[in-house]
């Protein structure tokens, strides 16, 4: 694995971002502009998880396809 | 950001083989569980085969999972949840985009995608474009009709994701597209080989513009095998004065392979996103060794709304013997997709791949880019009629060209042809996927 890439920090920050955006989505339940944009951010986050978390350490990003 | 980084994903694209296989197994388990749990169609298929997610522990277990064919998808569609039927894995209101297959081989198959699926499409294309040297400094022209076919839609979004400036040339006609490329000094382009050759011909013959003198320096091809057929690739390179890259993908699969800048004579399979199995069409056995052709069975690991699990694509491929000098550990399929199991047919007892004819025709100077092959039968006798176009400047070499064509065809395909040499412009032109190969034998027995 490329020594200059800190996979552990990447993974930690991705997990933090997911928690934050999932909370945004929850808070935006009656606020379409927040909820729908949060949904789109989650889709982008999933792409970062596919690129990073699926292989980082022993952790597998999620048991879910989404 | 370091734009000299050669890999879109420097970790996954260089992952050692064992780690890559381990990742693939985990990802297969994940998508199989998702599909089993969410798709009624797939679940009934798997239950009939007596296989459930707990049974998938090794690659050998994966081989027990039944394959899915396009005809099966056709059968379940146009029903509720309308119009996708029982393979839909998400609530209908989570589907954000509709696409359909081109219908080249029959009734089109519908493809629902969620927004996450659409992000995933663009992500797969980002691997392709980054590997082919697309960077934010590129101005990318897309000369295709933006419509229900997936075509270059995801290429558009991937180019945006990378940071390129995208020029959508949707409703413009061919001449207007050429003028727009010239006006904006586009540096990159995407298209089918057929259309790009036709576009170059239009520029030269009808507009007096030499496309090789325009600013396009790289072109990504898809939709046909052409950019992996050496003689077609050379014609495209000569016509446009650009690097020509191939890519293979499909609506119901995704963008699963790409040629990298090292151009090893084949396409990398994106093995972090897809599992490609090559299956011997006679025995059904898995082919692992290089140099043996078989049909592709493919799984997309991260597709959500309508999964692609062990899809029998009927694309004919073979593994390359050597790793690519680019440093990617993703394996290479030699010569790209060399044909479709549907198209490779026996004529006069000899296996004929239409791509072999294209390689010969486009390898002969003096012949135009277009050709047409018609296989027919009269009584017990099978015939192959090949129509080609001679360029105006080569009219005086017609006899030599015919003789060369006969010799090369016999050498490369081991068959004899009824040749018809036509004037330039007499054969049909295509804007999308070309239909140059016609087999009338089956039509007569239907």
Structural domain ending residue among the three candidates B342, B376, B406? B342
Query: Shortest CB distance from B115 goes to which of A43, A50, A64?
Result: A43
CATH code for the domain in which residue B156 is found: 3.40.50.12780
Digit-coded pLDDT (tens) for B256-291: 999 999 999 999 999 999 999 999 988 999 999 999
Average pLDDT over residues B70-81: 93
Give the number of domains in chain A: 1
Touching A: B residues 179-238, CB under 8 Å? none
Residues B124 and B214 in one domain: yes
| Residue A58, pLDDT above cutoff 90 | no
**Per the domain annotation, does A36 fall within a domain?**
yes
Tell me, yes or no, if B157 comes closer than 8 A to chain A by beta carbon.
Answer: no
Q: In Å, how far are B219, B221, B223, B398, B430 from B192, measured between CA atoms?
A: 10, 5, 6, 29, 10
Same domain, B16 and B92: yes
Runs of H (alpha helix) within A1-66: 7-27, 32-51
Q: How much is the average pLDDT of B181-209?
A: 95
Q: Does residue B124 belong to the interface with chain A, where contact is any CB pair within 8 Å?
A: no
Domain residue limits at A11:
7-51
Domain final residue, candidates B342, B367, B383: B342
**Does one domain contain both B117 and B132?**
yes
pLDDT at position B341, please?
Answer: 81
| Higher pLDDT pick, B326 / B281 | B326
**In chain B, which residues have their Cβ closer than 8 Å to the Cβ of A65?**
30-31, 34, 302-304, 307
User: Which of B319, B342, B365 represents a domain boundary (last residue)?
Assistant: B342
Q: Nearest C-alpha of chain B: how many angstroms from A23?
A: 18
- The pLDDT of A14-34, averaged and rounded, is 97
In this model, does residue B44 exceed pLDDT 90? Answer: yes
Is residue A56 in some structural domain?
no
> Above 80 in pLDDT, residue B442?
no
Which residues on chain B are in Cβ contact (under 8 Å) with A46? 116, 119-120, 302
Residues B24 and B106 in one domain: yes
In this predicted model, what pLDDT tens digit does every residue of B352-410 receive, in sequence order? 888 889 989 999 999 999 999 999 988 778 899 999 999 999 999 999 999 999 999 99
pLDDT at B355: 84
Cβ distance of A55 and B273 shorter than 8 Å: no
Q: Which two tokens stand for residue B85?
A: 């039927």
Instruction: Please answer whether residues B172 and B140 qualify as being in contact, where contact means their C-beta atoms are separated by less than 8 angstroms.
Output: no
Cα–Cα distance, B435 to B422 (Å, whole number)? 18
Question: What CATH number is associated with residue B406?
Answer: 3.30.300.30
Q: Do residues B220 and B146 share a domain?
A: yes
Whether residue B325 sits in one domain with residue B307? yes
Same domain, B313 and B381: no
Count of domains in chain B? Answer: 2
Output the pLDDT for position B446: 43
Average pLDDT, chain B: 93
Q: What is the pLDDT of residue B289?
A: 96
pLDDT in tens, B295-307: 999 999 999 999 9
Tell me the pTM. 0.90
**Across residues B3-29, what is the average pLDDT?**
95
The reported pLDDT for the residue numbered B429 is: 84
Are B166 and B101 found together in one domain? yes
Inside any domain, residue A46: yes
Residues B224-245, mean pLDDT to the nearest whole number: 93
Clarify whether residues B159 and B102 are in a common domain: yes
Do residue B392 and residue B322 come from a single domain?
no
Residue B127 has pLDDT above 70, yes or no: yes
- Asked if residue A65 belongs to a domain, the reply is no
Domain check: are B22 and B142 in the same one?
yes
Residues 400-439 of B with CB under 8 A from A: none
**Which residues in chain A have Cβ-Cβ distances shorter than 8 Å to B15?**
1, 55
Considering the domain boundaries, does residue A59 fall inside one? Answer: no
Q: Which domain holds residue B319?
A: 1-342
pLDDT at position A61 over 70: no
Question: Do residues B163 and B218 both lie within one domain?
Answer: yes
């Amino acid at each position: 694995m490329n020594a200059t890439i800190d996979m552990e920090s990447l993974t930690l920050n991705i997990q933090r971002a997911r928690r934050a955006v999932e909370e945004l989505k929850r808070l935006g339940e009656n606020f379409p502009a927040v909820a729908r944009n949060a949904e789109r951010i989650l889709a982008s986050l999933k792409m970062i998880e596919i690129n990073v978390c699926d292989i980082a350490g022993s952790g597998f990003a999620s048991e879910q396809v989404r | 950001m370091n734009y000299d980084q050669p890999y879109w994903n420097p970790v996954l694209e260089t992952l050692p083989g064992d780690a890559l296989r381990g990742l693939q197994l985990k990802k297969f388990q994940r998508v199989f569980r998702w599909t089993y749990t969410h798709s009624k169609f797939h679940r009934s298929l798997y239950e009939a085969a007596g296989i459930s997610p707990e049974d998938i522990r090794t690659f050998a277990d994966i081989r027990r999972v039944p394959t899915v064919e396009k005809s099966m998808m056709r059968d379940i569609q146009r029903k509720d949840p309308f119009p996708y039927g029982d393979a839909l894995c998400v609530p209908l209101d989570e589907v954000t985009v509709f696409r359909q297959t081109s219908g080249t081989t029959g009734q089109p198959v519908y493809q629902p995608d969620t927004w996450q699926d659409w992000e995933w499409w663009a992500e797969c294309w980002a691997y392709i474009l980054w590997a082919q040297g697309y960077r934010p400094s590129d101005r990318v022209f897309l000369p295709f009709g933006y419509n229900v076919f997936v075509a270059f839609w995801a290429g558009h979004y991937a180019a945006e994701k990378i940071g390129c400036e995208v020029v959508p040339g949707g409703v413009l006609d061919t001449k207007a597209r050429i003028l727009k490329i010239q006006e904006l000094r586009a540096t990159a382009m995407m298209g089918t080989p057929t259309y790009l050759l036709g576009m170059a011909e239009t520029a030269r013959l009808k507009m007096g513009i030499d496309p090789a003198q325009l600013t396009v320096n790289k072109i990504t091809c898809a939709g046909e095998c052409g950019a992996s057929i050496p003689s077609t690739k050379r014609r495209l390179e000569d016509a446009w004065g650009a690097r020509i890259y191939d890519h293979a993908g499909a609506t119901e699969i995704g963008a699963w392979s790409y040629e990298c800048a090292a151009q090893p004579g084949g396409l990398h399979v994106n093995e972090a996103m897809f599992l490609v199995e090559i299956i011997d069409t006679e025995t059904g056995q898995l082919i692992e060794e290089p140099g043996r052709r078989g049909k592709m069975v493919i799984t997309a690991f991260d597709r959500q709304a309508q999964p692609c699990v062990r899809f029998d694509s009927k694309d004919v491929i073979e593994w390359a013997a050597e790793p690519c000098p680019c440093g990617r550990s993703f394996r290479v399929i030699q010569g790209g997709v060399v044909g479709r199991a549907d198209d490779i047919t026996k004529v006069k007892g000899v296996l004929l791949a239409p791509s072999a004819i294209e390689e010969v025709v486009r390898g002969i100077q003096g012949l135009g880019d277009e050709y047409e092959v018609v296989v027919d039968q009269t009584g017990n006798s099978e015939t192959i009629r090949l129509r080609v176009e001679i360029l105006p400047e080569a009219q005086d070499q017609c006899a030599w060209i015919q003789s060369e064509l006969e010799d090369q065809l016999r050498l490369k395909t081991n068959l004899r042809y009824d040749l018809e040499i036509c004037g330039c412009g007499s054969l049909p032109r295509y804007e999308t996927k070309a239909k140059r190969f016609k087999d009338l034998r089956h039509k007569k027995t239907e």
